[in-house]
Amino acid sequence: MNIILIGAQGSGKGTQAQRLAASLGIRHVASGDLFRKAIDEGTELGQKAKTYIDQGKLVPDNLTVSMVLGRISEPDCASGVLLDGFPRTIVQAQALDEGLGRAGQRIDCVLYLEVPRNVLLKRLSGRYICKANQHVYNINTRPPKVPGICDLDGSELYQRSDDRGEAVQKRLDIFFNETVHLFDYYANQGKLAAVNGNQGIEEVAGSLLKAINDCREDV
Ligand code: AMP
């Protein structure tokens, strides 16, 4: 089963994606994580992507599409993927449909995690992430037990450069102005389901699983 999880930065998408993928037994593929890994490893792709990411801009479609399609064609993705952060544009969505189609696969379900903009801004300004595994904390609402240290793996917590200052506003503008076009694209395919992301973590997880089951019944 191939699922797309759409949500603005700070919507809880990363946390929910990790849980969902584990409970469905499919691979969690996050385009932002793939870019950050490429940057850490100092690859050519990482160097190109960094300029855009640091400014809160989208990385060009050609770089993004080839990176993600390459990743999902690897053997560990054969039983299904949960895509997080990709696609973000119509060009990417079309390229994804074509790429999956060539492999005899398709997207089964597209979930939109809906959270109001004022809630997103508050969450993002307090967000810290662990260096080792990208576990997410919030100094206001979900602090670690020891300040600055991940509860789960003991690694250092950091605030992403694009979670600070103007880059936050720019990323939310991009989401609300541009990424929303994807809703029409997937609604026309009859695959879109909206889920209320402004609830507790457990409630959101339950709502997402319910939406996936509804979507399975429709197939
Ligand atoms: P994320 O972790 O999903 O917030 O992604 C971090 C940054 O990586 C974004 O602000 C973009 O600069 C870049 N990025 C991630 N996914 C995409 C995508 N599908 N298309 C273009 N840029 C992306």
Q: Is 106 a catalytic site residue?
A: no
Instruction: Identify the DSSP state of 111.
Output: E
Tell whether 193 is covered by a domain. Answer: yes
Tell whether 140 is covered by a domain. Answer: no
CA of 219 to the centre of ligand 1 (A): 30
Answer whether 53's CB lies under 8 Å from 109's CB: no
Tell whether 25 is covered by a domain. Answer: yes
Q: Partners of 136 in the beta sheet? A: 129
Answer whether 182's CB lies under 8 Å from 88's CB: yes
pLDDT at 219: 54
35 lines ligand 1 (CB under 6 A): yes
11 lines ligand 1 (CB under 6 A): no
DSSP H stretches of helix in the chain:
13-24, 31-40, 44-54, 61-72, 90-102, 117-125, 165-174, 181-188, 201-218
Q: How far is CA 158 from the centre of its chain?
A: 19
pLDDT digits (tens, 9 = 90+) for 117-141: 989 988 888 889 999 988 989 888 8
- The residue annotated as part of the active site, out of 71, 123, 171, 191, is 171
pLDDT at 27: 96
pLDDT digits (tens, 9 = 90+) for 16-38: 999 999 999 999 999 999 999 99
pLDDT at 7: 94
CA of 84 to the centre of ligand 1 (A): 10
Number of domains in the chain: 1
Largest Cα–Cα distance in the chain?
Answer: 48
| Cα(91)–Cα(59) distance, integer angstroms | 13
CA of 53 to the centre of ligand 1 (A): 7
Give me the domain span that covers residue 209: 3-124+157-218
Tell whether 150 is covered by a domain. Answer: no
Looking at the CA of residue 84, tell me the nearest atom of ligand 1.
3
Q: The sheet that has 192-196: what strands, in order across it? A: 27-30, 81-84, 3-6, 109-114, 192-196
Q: Partners of 158 in the beta sheet? A: 129
- The residue annotated as part of the active site, out of 19, 36, 71, 127, is 127
Tell whether 131 is covered by a domain. Answer: no
Tell whether 151 is covered by a domain. Answer: no
pLDDT digits (tens, 9 = 90+) for 75-102: 999 999 999 999 999 999 999 999 999 9
Tell whether 115 is covered by a domain. Answer: yes
CATH number at residue 179: 3.40.50.300
pLDDT at 174: 86
61 is written with which tokens? 């479609």
Tell whether 148 is covered by a domain. Answer: no
121 is written with which tokens? 């801004």
Residue type, 110: V
Looking at the CA of residue 87, tell me the nearest atom of ligand 1.
19
Sign of CA dihedral 38, 41, 42, 44: negative
164 is written with which tokens? 């600070």
